Amino acid sequence: MNTDKFRALWAKLRDPDYRKAFVGATVKRTVPFQITAIRRRRGWSQGELAKRAGLTQGAISRAEDPDYGNLTFNTVIRIANGLDLAFVGRFVPYSEFLKWYSALSEESASDVPCFDSEDARIALGETVSEPQHTIRQATEQPSSAWETGMSGLFQKKLRSPYAAEFAVKSLEQPATQESGNLAAGIGLLEDAYETFRRTQQQGNLPN
């Protein structure tokens, strides 16, 4: 994320309500998004992942649904074991969160080698490093017909006094998860925030 983009979004995060909504929506979307991205990259069905994780296909389906909202650490850890990956949940400062979010894409989310793959490289004396994926920045233009269409829809909906709430809820939808560029949501939320604040200043919403 370039410096100007970072500072602009950082200014929005000074609003506690915006901050909570932004991070909450992101967390709810990104874990299901990555599970789906990794599974598809490996060419597995939900049933195959369920078998490897010791879960039911229904459990995997719910875990990949960003609207489910009740995903537990126990389930995530079992899915991680099924994928032969480590799952790290940790608290970070907002600056690190923004840098991570801006680099998130379907490619970066799915480019995670399993233990056996890394172990084979280490056995050959190779150096295990960060995946060599192409990071898509938040400043890129929409990369799909869906994103282009949604941008137009948001332009209409953002005139609503409840634009911020609309943006957050819309970005939680499965279609957003499928777009492959979650970072594009930053711009939409920024626009929503500006509309929301202007409406507050006009006295149409409580502060």
What's residue 204's pLDDT?
A: 56
What's residue 79's pLDDT?
A: 97
Instruction: Supply 66's token pair.
Output: 């960003």
Distance (Å, rounded) from C-alpha 55 to C-alpha 62?
Answer: 11
What's residue 134's pLDDT?
A: 33
How would CATH label the architecture of 3-201?
A: Orthogonal Bundle (1.10)
For residues 13-35, average pLDDT: 92
pTM > 0.85 = no
Q: What is the pLDDT of residues 105-159, one digit of tens each?
A: 888 889 899 999 999 888 888 776 554 443 333 333 444 443 444 444 444 444 4
What's residue 56's pLDDT?
A: 97
The radius of gyration of the chain's CA atoms, rounded to the nearest angstrom, is: 19
Closest CA to 196 of 186, 187, 206: 206
Assign 3-class secondary structure to the chain. Answer: CCHHHHHHHHHHCCCHHHHHHHHHHHHHHHHHHHHHHHHHHCCCCHHHHHHHHCCCHHHHHHHCCCCCCCCCHHHHHHHHHHHCCCCCCCCCCHHHHHHHHHCCCHHHHHCCCCHHHHHHHHHCCCCCCCCCCCCCCCCCCCCCHHHHHHHHHHHHHCCCCCHHHHHHHHHCCHHHHHCCCHHHHHHHHHHHHHHHHHHHHCCCCCC
Q: How far is CA 1 from the centre of its chain?
A: 15
For residues 10-21, average pLDDT: 93
Give the least confident one: 81-85, 93-97, 105-109.
105-109
Q: What is the pLDDT of residues 29-78, one digit of tens each?
A: 899 999 999 999 999 999 999 999 999 999 999 999 998 988 999 999 99
What's residue 197's pLDDT?
A: 62
Instruction: Between 185 and 81, name the one with better pLDDT.
Output: 81
Distance (Å, rounded) from C-alpha 207 to C-alpha 204?
Answer: 9
